[in-house]
Structure 1
Amino acid sequence: MPPWLQLMLDSLLPLLRAGLIFTIPLTLLSFSLGLALGLLTAVVRLFGPKPLVAVARFYVWVIRGTPLLVQLFVIFYGLPSLGILLDAFPAALIGFTLNIGAYTSEIIRAVISSVPRGQWEAAYSIGMSWSQAMRRTILPQAARVAVPPLSNTFISLVKDTSLAAAITVPELFQTAQRIVATTYEPLILYIEAALLYLALSSVLSSLQVRLEKRFARYGGFLEART
């Protein structure tokens, strides 16, 4: 067996373990929390009082206007100067959550705004409150439109978690870096890490297509009913 292939086989288990223990949980937690934050931010920007709208706009402006890596460094290396000490994984989780929240808020705000005003009026005409109209009428329609961009954001997040290596989170990419430090074979290990990210992204892309088809059928059902 060629030495390079043996090296890839030997390093495969540590890389997979790092992905299962750190990369995937970090992705799922960050996206879930970020999506909730994004929904809250979008609702505030669309329907909130002016002071809260200004705060939400400032938050989105700052996060979208600065690099994710810089944000992670500010949280992990900068906050200790203020006496706020965070372990690497919580710091990464906070950083990715804030980042995803800003980007998903713009997606959610756009899709909610795309729902025709007549849908609000129809909901109010049958006695729904604002929250009921949002939950039962507006969000289900907006979700169908939001699936593609939110799925793309999720897939991008999987790859962006490699930036957590810069703040010492032992995820997939940093594990590859540690193996490189002992084997002195950067090309082989980094290609292997790239292939694992590619495989995961390909699986998620396939799931995205299926999810979009399901929502398209659901959308056709709604249109048929109306």
Structure 2
Amino acid sequence: MSATLPLPTTPTTPATHTTRPTPAQPAAIDVRQAHVPADKLQIVLWLLALACLLRLLWMVSHNEAFQWPVVLHWLSAPSILRGLGVTLGLTAVSMVLGSLLGLLLAMARLSRSALFKSIAGLYIWFFRSTPLLVQLIFLYNMATLFPEISIGLPFGPTLVSWKTNDLITPLTAAIVGLTLNEAAYMAEIIRGGLLAVDPRQLETAQAFGASRWCALRRILIPQAMRSIVPPTGNQLISMLKATSLVSVIAMGDLLHSVQMVYNQTFEVIPLLIVAVCWYLMLTSVLNWVQSAIERHYGKSESDQAAPPVAAASSTTEGAP
């Protein structure tokens, strides 16, 4: 008699839906409080800087050695104002002539002629490698090297000649020296601005029949002005301050006028402060003009860059 054993059965459990435990949410952080320590530090630094500035102003204003009444007396004296006019005239004339000569030198550096490139490169190398003060002194003492300046044919007869002392006066030496030195720096500024323009525009203009000079004058130079104007403003400010060097050749600029006064009154510090005040006022005005011009050209660039972005966004919105 056989017995049948029951087969083991697998217990079935009802299916249950398991869920992952949700991570705990971080506590909300007020972003406005994140910069509070940095802001407090900035306020402390500003207060400290303001306290130092006020302390400096107090020391300068109450120091009798500065002789502020003497400064106010000579600030608008006729002799000082005449020297100021000479400084402004030298700056304007030398900057205009130096820019024109620098433009010619820049075009010579960019020309295809090896002769023009070499002459312009040698000129720029010489005037940028020697101090302006040395150039002015050499030019003022040119009569010791060449008693006469003549024009004539090479190894031929002399057409016309002048005595060097009659030509090289303090005024002509100052204008010629500042102009020649400024031209070397302006040549590199203008050349850098021209190189910043896409050269394919010049090739395109020449392909349409325009001459190289016409393409430079009508296409390249107007576009290069965006890169030329800012460094030219800096160079103008440097030129204004460089005119003080002409005092060593007895040119009656602002610094020379101040020196003439304190050589008689022995009030050296107050008269030097007068010169510093005028230079600060003039350079501040030039800085403001330069910033206005840079904002103008920056606005022009942003206006030119805006239409392509608008066109691209409108095309994207209209795409399916």
TM-score where L is the length of structure 2: 0.66
1:107-165 C-alpha deviation (Å, 9 max, x unpaired): 11111112112221332344322122111110011111111111100001000100010
Say yes or no: does 1:172 pair with 2:172: no
- CA–CA distance in structure 2, aligned partners of residues 30 and 63 of structure 1: 15
Q: How does 1:147-226 map to 2 (within 5 A)?
A: 147-222=229-304
Q: Are residues 47 and 111 of structure 1, via their aligned partners in 2, closer, same or farther at CA, if it must alter by over 3 Å? A: same
- Identity level (%): 36
1:131 aligns with 213
2:72 aligns with 9
Asked whether the 8 Å contact 1:11–1:179 carries over to 2, the reply is no
Say yes or no: does 1:36 pair with 2:118: no
Q: How does 1:17-166 map to 2 (within 5 A)?
A: 17-20=82-85, 22-83=86-147, 84-85=164-165, 86-166=168-248
Q: Are residues 80 and 218 of structure 1, via their aligned partners in 2, closer, same or farther at CA, if it must alter by over 3 Å? A: farther
- CA–CA distance in structure 2, aligned partners of residues 212 and 80 of structure 1: 46
- CA–CA distance in structure 2, aligned partners of residues 167 and 143 of structure 1: 35
- CA–CA distance in structure 2, aligned partners of residues 37 and 94 of structure 1: 12
Deviates more, 1:7-16 or 1:181-190: 7-16
Q: Which has the higher contact order (CA 8 A, sep 6+)?
A: 1
Could you tell me which runs of 5 or more consecutive residues in structure 2 were left unpaired when the two chains were aligned.
Answer: 1-63, 148-163, 309-320
What secondary structure is seen at the aligned counterpart in 2 of 1:115? Answer: coil
Deviation, 1:79, is 3.8
What secondary structure is seen at the aligned counterpart in 2 of 1:169? Answer: coil
Could you tell me which runs of 5 or more consecutive residues in structure 1 were left unpaired when the two chains were aligned.
Answer: none
Asked whether the 8 Å contact 2:84–2:253 carries over to 1, the reply is yes
RMSD between aligned residues: 1.9
- CA–CA distance in structure 1, aligned partners of residues 217 and 145 of structure 2: 43
Q: Which amino acid aligns with 1:32?
A: V
- CA–CA distance in structure 2, aligned partners of residues 56 and 166 of structure 1: 29
1:184-209 C-alpha deviation (Å, 9 max, x unpaired): 11111112201110110011000000
Asked whether the 8 Å contact 2:71–2:273 carries over to 1, the reply is no
Report how many aligned residue pairs link the two structures: 224
The structure where helix makes up a greater share of residues is: 1
- CA–CA distance in structure 1, aligned partners of residues 103 and 68 of structure 2: 46
What secondary structure is seen at the aligned counterpart in 1 of 2:209? Answer: coil
Q: Which amino acid aligns with 1:173?
A: L
Q: Are residues 216 and 79 of structure 1, via their aligned partners in 2, closer, same or farther at CA, if it must alter by over 3 Å? A: farther
